[in-house]
Structure 1
Amino acid sequence: MVRLNPYLSFQGKAREALEFYRSFLGGEVEISTYGSMPGMTDDPAEQDLVMHGQLETDHGLTLMAADNPSSMPYVAPSSGVTVALTGGPDDLEYVQAAVTALSDGATDVMPFEKAPWGDHYGQLTDRYGVSWMFDVGPA
């Protein structure tokens, strides 16, 4: 089965971000560091940075992330790319919990509430600069 998954870039915050996302999305985080892969970086200060991290949730969500070492250009999250967390009426409580957690330290917040078209909708930019959109449709 082919899957399309968000892959987020960080500068030294990938582990922290994945653990934060796990705190409300649930699931397990797996992390490989640059130090665990010989030849990935020669800088001793970068050995513990996340080369690849992955959060797999019980809801079937996958969120991946990595830290950029100094040898690679860093591309900050942009408002042109948004992580969308969507679902149906049975997912309303789960999505609301995610919105509540992500709102701590967030900017550009559009409240998650009933929209004119009938869905619950909202958006924000989280404390790490990642844009999120939320939509829960009716039955």
Structure 2
Amino acid sequence: MTRISPFLTFNGNCRKAMTFYHNCFGGEIQFQTIGDSPLGKKLSLKMQEYILHASISTKYFTLMGTDMVEEQGLVQSNAVSIWIECMSKNELYTYFHKLVEKGEARQPIEQTYSGALLGGLTDQFGNHWLFHWRS
């Protein structure tokens, strides 16, 4: 079956962000720096430290990231949110409270008209997250 995985772009702070997300979600984390790539040795030491590819793999999802920003620079907007379908009410609250650290709760966790819980936030790295749980 096809699987969709979020791939986030950062502006030099991919390692910090992915380490933060790993502390929130657990799983296995991996980093590949630009210096680890075949072309990396041709670049400055500072560039070699940037993350070419990072991933966090759990049983249910993979979250990927990079510091490789396109020429126009990093543009963050509210056009995309990362939707987390939680397995329990406790999981929803746990993830929400961990990810909102130094961020902003845009939509506090509330019960919807259908009885589900829904909440949204923007994390400290400018990424938008939505959390959902239906009993």
Q: CA RMSD in A?
A: 1.8
The TM-score, its normalising length taken from structure 1, stands at 0.87
Partner of 2:75: 76
Unaligned runs of 5+ in 1: none
Q: Residues of 1 paired with 2:114 and 2:72: CA distance?
A: 41
Amino acid paired to 1:111:
P
Q: Secondary structure at the match of 2:92?
A: helix
Percent of aligned positions with the same letter in both sequences? 27
Q: Counterparts of 1:1-139 in structure 2 under 5 Å?
A: 1-40=1-40, 42-58=43-59, 60-68=60-68, 72-87=71-86, 90-107=87-104, 109-138=106-135
Q: Residues of 2 paired with 1:17 and 1:79: CA distance?
A: 18
Greater displacement, 121-130 / 60-69: 60-69
The TM-score, its normalising length taken from structure 2, stands at 0.89
Shift in Å at residue 46 of structure 1?
1.0
Unaligned runs of 5+ in 2: none
Do the aligned residues in 1 keep the contact of 2:11 with 2:74 (CA within 8 Å)? Answer: no
Shift in Å at residue 73 of structure 1?
4.0
Shift in Å at residue 102 of structure 1?
1.2
Q: Secondary structure at the match of 2:56?
A: strand
Do the aligned residues in 2 keep the contact of 1:8 with 1:77 (CA within 8 Å)? Answer: no
Q: Residues of 1 paired with 2:76 and 2:85: CA distance?
A: 20
